[in-house]
Amino acid sequence: MQMPESEPRKAMPRLILLVMAALLLLPVSVLGAEDYPNRNIRVVVPFAPGGAVDLVARVIAKNLSEKFKQQVYVENKPGASGNLGADVVAQASPDGYTLLVSASTFVVNPVVSAERTPFNPLTDFSYLGLIAKGPLLFVVNPGVATSVQEFVAKARAHPESINFATGGYGSAGHMAAESFKLRAGLNVPVVLYKGTAPVFTDLIGGHISALMDPLLTSLPLAKGKQVTALAIASDKRSSLAPDIPTFAEAGFPGFEFYTWYGLWSPAKLPDDVVNRIEQALAEIGKSPEVQHWFETQGLAYSGINGKAFHDFAVSEQNLYKEIVDKAKLIKP
């Protein structure tokens, strides 16, 4: 004769189901975040390989791999001025296994483009770290001018013979050129190119007069006498180019523009994963080898994170919006 099951035994399957359901509802930070990372990490770069953003991302990925003892690999997803790759990250799971390395265009695209950005860069991402930033260099074709004052005088007297160029609408270089035009009272065009490489070809060839560009790509050409560097957009001279004056020394005090690179993840990344990544970035920044690499690129490793990084991004977005509004730029 079969004995009836006891009440505790009947309740066991139901209890197991309840426990499993509760576990499924727990945040990632409780379920396994303490052993993060335990698999490969993808770093999305929303630009083509070989550019400045890609180079910075690969240095960070290599060092994160060493810190985490897991493979951290770069995946290039160019398109839509960086929006395509960033949107991939915005839609990824907030678990720390999909990260984004991008530049200032990431946070300013919404204010410089009429085309709707598919995400909000200030709310749809976790701000993990401002990796590095560096000043822009004001370079011209060697036949144009030998000083900022001479360039301004020539541009005012013969605006039809002078122009700026930019390799990307809304880039730091583009905004710096528009800001300088406003500051100097110049009425000359800014010619839009698809990439910096063709800009340099035409700058060297004399088809373009001037360019605001990161030291990373422009200083080698200046040292090779292919272009002339008139000023650096920082508060002090660069140790890489001590003979190039600041804009303040050239008669434009306070004119500073920087290119910068950051690390983001999808929003709502668990706090312990955020802390793990921030700690790794801080340790990487202390490495003499890493510091030396960034210095040779005309960049300074930053390491600010969290709210400080977010506040910096907000200030950059506001700055660029002000320039767009004052210059009455037509958004493409």
Distance between CA 167 and CA 317 in Å, rounded? 19
Number of domains into which the chain is organized? 2
Across the strands, what pairs with 246? 232
Same domain assignment for residues 124 and 152: no
Contact between 209 and 144 under an 8 Å Cβ cutoff? The reply is: yes
Do the Cβ atoms of 126 and 267 come closer than 8 Å?
yes
| Per-residue pLDDT reduced to its tens digit, 257-316 | 999 999 999 999 999 999 999 999 999 999 999 999 999 988 999 989 999 999 999 999
How many CA within 13 A on the CB side of residue 108?
Answer: 27
Residues 128 and 267 in one domain: yes
- Answer yes or no: pTM beyond 0.85: no
How does DSSP classify residue 161? Answer: G
Same domain, 114 and 168: no
- Where in the sequence is the domain holding 170, given as residue range(s)? 135-232
265 vs 78: CA distance, rounded Å: 17
CATH number for position 77: 3.40.190.150
Query: How far is the C-alpha of 256 from the C-alpha of 135, rounded, in Å?
Result: 7
Q: CATH number of the domain that 147 lies in? A: 3.40.190.10
pLDDT, tens digit (0-9, with 9 covering 90-100), for 171-211: 899 999 999 999 999 999 999 887 788 999 999 999 999 99
How far is the C-alpha of 223 from the C-alpha of 225, rounded, in Å? 5
